[in-house]
A and B are shown apart, each in its own frame.
Chain A
């Protein structure tokens, strides 16, 4: 099982006036899990995602992937790990404007293999069809709409058949309708391929659609909910009020988005 295991992960910034972004996170993420990470700004959720994504190193603690401690690896080994095991979806899409949509999708494979492999190119085209941008795959990245760019970014995250996909506010920069369809697409891919998803979001609609939701507060895991066991209303009741409770109000019932 491709479990990802975090043990006592700490991250402290600065030495003179240390800021403790993470204060000991223990988390085991099962293969194929669709995990949402929520928390207010400054809670440490982005730091956690950077550490899980090996873009940042923890100050203390260990992170095991299939029994291998990632913290002990050097930069080049981590680059290879990111390239082959992880898929990244960022809030700001981050396609390279110098390349067209298809070339962007093929980037991780070219970084991995150097040359362009025809089988991979075919897979790239299929992935673009799959995310619904087929007719525009030869367009320059900056000639695509925001939704199309995010779909291309999703196809790019999938090209190397990653075990884990990390998504940072994947719908944060999209309008509601487009965001909804991207959210559904991610869920479909998770179901089809069994890829583990870790989504950092402050969108509680997305969180409610996850199998499991981890809430981070002050650098610690505050709650770890198995949303999949709840029905829609219960899930919403658990998640929606987070901000409101602290204000001493009763949760406002908003219409529950249907889970497909």
Chain B
């Protein structure tokens, strides 16, 4: 008990030192909290931009590769026929129970059956390659958020009606009500009236996608009621890989891929950011620890007389050590608490400045209470640890040295 009193009295009486070190820790932690929030926000918006309106997990049939018919020696020339993927894709059949089962799990934000294939728009002498997206309108809207991003016409699919992107419409100089002639590699060809035009804020999508009803796509590609893909979204994008692994076990007949597996570069970028943030935090913490250790080391020298008296008056070695451990912990705790508040203030300031300039991005950086709590706990632990060496010195101090030398 008493060592607590002594510890706080020492801190209070060493006012200048205490204030200086607290300011130091506060600044360090404030920068840490601020940078951390910034990096988290950056990651969030990056992920949001890339996979927010895209499937997180995609199911398809495993690639089908016929077995070689004869055993051949290596080096023997073989005649190989190269074919496009088209006719080879094996559709997912009996998919309704799969979707029902996925729905029963209740964890997916959206589940969308897709019949997808390539095609060409023929206009005069030109033929434009496109991707025909056979969608269930309600389910696809939940995933891609198309209805609210229509710029003309209606979000309506049925019969031969299609939706096209703004860039494609501009390229073809067509509008709602125009008809497009589309052929598929399988040889099907027909006229497709444009029901509406969308802007999904992605150039390749706006230029390349032609959305059509699921049933029509199935017949166009001869899928016989089957699907090429099932697309899923999970609430937490980063859990996608875990869910994909689970689904692989649950539905071994399908090939499940998460966005992390198909977007390795994005993931690497995110991880790079994450680890750079950890490195910054590590160095801030290291400097906080060293600062506390050096201040306490000075304090032990300055107060060796007091320590000697307290020991002569019967304070035990362990108690003397604790006087300094408590000081380290208190400095770490108070400094990181102040630093977190200051960091939060910095974020607010930054956000309001951003708002004043232009509304884009960083409008609401989340104040990660969890990460602040972690900062405080870690800094307090670091302060305690930093105090160990000075505390040991204090505890080992021989009172006679002090008393003899006046």
Contact = CB atoms under 8 A, between A and B. Distances in A.
Contacts of B317: 75-76, 79
27 contacts: A46-B404, A55-B398, A55-B403, A56-B400, A75-B316, A75-B317, A79-B315, A79-B317, A82-B314, A83-B313, A83-B315, A91-B406, A92-B406, A94-B305, A94-B308, A96-B306, A98-B10, A98-B13, A107-B310, A107-B313, A110-B2, A110-B5, A111-B314, A111-B315, A112-B314, A115-B1, A156-B313
Contacts of A99: 9
A83 to B, nearest CB: 2
Contacts of A55: 312, 398-400, 403
Q: Which 7 A-B pairs have the closest CB atoms?
A: A83-B314, A114-B1, A98-B13, A110-B2, A82-B314, A92-B406, A98-B9
Nearest to A90: B403
A76 B321 CA distance: 13
Interface residues of B, number: 28
Instruction: Point out which of B6, B319, B403 has the most chain A C-beta atoms below 10 A from its C-beta.
Output: B403
Interface string B1-40: 1100110011011000000000000000000000000000
A20 to B, nearest CB: 18
Contacts of A94: 305, 308-309, 403
Interface of A: 46, 50, 53, 55-56, 75-76, 79-84, 88, 90-92, 94, 96-99, 107-108, 110-112, 114-115, 156, 168
Contacts of A82: 312-314
Contact of B314 (A56, A108, A115): A108
A82 B399 CA distance: 12
Nearest to A86: B314
Among B305, B315, B317, B319, the most chain A Cβ lie within 10 Å of the Cβ of B315
Nearest to B14: A98
B187 to A, nearest CB: 93
Nearest to A91: B406
B406 to A, nearest CB: 5
Contacts, number: 71
Contacts of A88: 312-313
Contacts of A53: 312
Provide the main secondary structure of the chain B interface: helix
Interface in B125-181: none
B53 interface: no
B44 interface: no
B311 interface: yes
B403 A84 contact: no
B400 A76 contact: no
Contact of A111 (B2, B12, B308): B2
B5 to A, nearest CB: 7
A46 B305 CA distance: 18
A218 B322 CA distance: 41
Interface string B181-212: 00000000000000000000000000000000
Contacts of B315: 79, 83, 111
B323 to A, nearest CB: 11
Given A92-B406, A99-B9, A50 B400 contact: yes
A97 B13 contact: yes
A96 B316 CA distance: 17
Nearest to A172: B406
A79 B319 CA distance: 11
A183 B404 CA distance: 21
A111 B319 CA distance: 9
